[in-house]
Chain A
Amino acid sequence: MDEKTAETLALAAGLDKAWANHRADVLAALQTQQSHRGKLPRTRNPADEPAPPWRLTGGENKA
């Protein structure tokens, strides 16, 4: 990612101070996020619903 694009994204996220004073950290964060996004499975099946862990099946010991 070129620095101009990175600056646009950082400022759009409201990270003006971080961009001014911790630019290397912001650039590293953008690189990290791009890497994560590339690895994240992205289903195209509309039937695949999100299921957070509070759907865990309950047991007799549940508080």
Chain B
Amino acid sequence: MSAAPWTLTLAEASARIADGVLKPSALLASCLERIADVDSGLNACIRVLGKQAMAAAEKLDGESPRGPLHGIPVGIKDIIDIAGEITTCHSAQLLDNVKDADAAVVARLRAAGAVFPAKLSTHEFAIGGPAFDLPFPPARNPWNRNHHPGGSSSGSGAGVASGMFPAALGTDTGGSVRHPASACGIVGLKPTYDLVPRTGVFPLSFTLDHVGPLTRTVEDSAIMLEAMTGNSYRGDIAGGLTGLRVGYIRHFHEKDQPAHPEMAAALDAAAKLLEAQGATVTDIVLPSLNEFAVVNRTVLGSEAASIHEFWLKETPEKYAGVTRRRLLPGMFMTGADLVHAQRHRAKLLAAVEAAFGQVDVLLCASSMDPAAQIDNEPEVERTYPRQARTAFNVTGHPAITLMSGLAANGLPLSVQFVAPAYREALLFRAAAGYEAKAGFKGMRPPL
């Protein structure tokens, strides 16, 4: 008996559709059934768009395959517009916000043959969460529903990890694609700044926002990015690790923000695996994570305040408490604060660019801890900023996170690779080389 279609990776489903043994409508039906089976405990979906998606899938049944995304269900974070649908941003501020047009990235996926089965949970406006005082409940981690799935693209992470759809779109301003990917044991990509258009995506911070895919494998991530950009990224994806120069940023997780011992051990194991596969691993020193973090908070706070100023003044009660508390500091930042942050950002960017004069890719932590319990607010607040993702929103370099094991409590561990600007093909080669040998590819939560 063959596996249920919802269990297939994007590449596997795509191959079956291309071979004519799986119809887009059958794949979608299986994914919708999976959503019906498991989402009541995960809250990944704000709205299931079954009827609209099935109409699109049935139309695709009768077409010759357009490419690898033909008939592939892709979940959409609910800050990204789909024509004719509401974009709530998971907020009471925007419950009636029906959009006329697809976001540019959604239009590209639709043209490539993707269908959209659901709008997905997010932290409110991609910043406030997890929160229990919003119109929709927060998403939960499919590995353990008592734990946080990461955020802000929390529904994207929970949905892909639990098999509701093989891929989803998220956004990443301080790590919001890579955090849920790390917490849920899947692959999350933040492409180079502005490689993927942001038109039709509700902004959080214009110079830090990135749109990226969440998938179950590195290959699937590359397929998604190809459709999102029109570029080719898979030519060298199976090139292996031999000869690759890897810079290991130990101080991020050993000194700047000492990681949970199991996370640290998984990082060291990854470095050893890379060496065993023929890569050269050397230590790289960058400015401290705290420098990146304070620049990110100042830029994000200032830009977000300019977006939310009206609502913060007129309808502050419509935000979740955590959203209000995260947005309000930006209202007290000065113009000089913002420019100082941008001036220091130049130095941080130069430091990372200099590192790429010595190595091909960087290896470092993503999260410093496995996911916290979702209702333990002090623990969520403690662990939330303990991460090394923000650095690459500040600099704009492409970064990818993937699973590096399971902690003793059964929650995923993770690693992060970073590449020079616009070198996503190299990033995929490094990540796929690690994924192929690490032994965690395709692991699914025991739902």
Contact = CB atoms under 8 A, between A and B. Distances in A.
B406 interface: no
A50 B345 contact: yes
B258 to A, nearest CB: 19
B346 A15 contact: no
Contacts of B207: 52-54
Contact of A28 (B196, B313, B325): B325
A58 B422 contact: yes
Given A33-B333, A61-B423, A63-B230, A39 B294 contact: yes
Contact of A59 (B312, B341, B422): B422
A39 B192 contact: no
B144 interface: no
A18 B8 CA distance: 49
A4 interface: no
Contacts of A9: 332
Interface string A27-63: 0111011001101111100001111111111111111
Size class of the contact patch on chain B: 35 or more
Given A15-B312, A56-B396, A39 B290 contact: yes
Contact of B345 (A28, A36, A52, A60): A52
Contacts, number: 138
Contacts of A28: 325, 328
A40 B396 contact: no
Nearest to A21: B317
Interface stretch (B32-40, B165-173, B295-303): B295-303
Given A25-B324, A43-B340, A48-B347, A62 B195 contact: yes
A42 B324 CA distance: 27
A43 B343 CA distance: 8
A63 B195 contact: yes
A50 B420 CA distance: 20
Contacts of A37: 333, 337
A63 B345 CA distance: 24
Given A56-B193, A62-B192, 20 more contacts: A14-B313, A15-B313, A15-B331, A21-B316, A25-B324, A29-B325, A29-B328, A30-B329, A32-B329, A33-B333, A40-B340, A41-B344, A48-B346, A50-B343, A52-B207, A56-B349, A56-B396, A61-B425, A63-B196, A63-B229
22 contacts: A15-B313, A17-B313, A18-B324, A22-B316, A25-B328, A33-B301, A33-B333, A37-B337, A39-B294, A40-B295, A40-B344, A41-B340, A41-B344, A50-B339, A52-B207, A53-B193, A53-B349, A53-B394, A53-B396, A56-B422, A62-B192, A63-B231
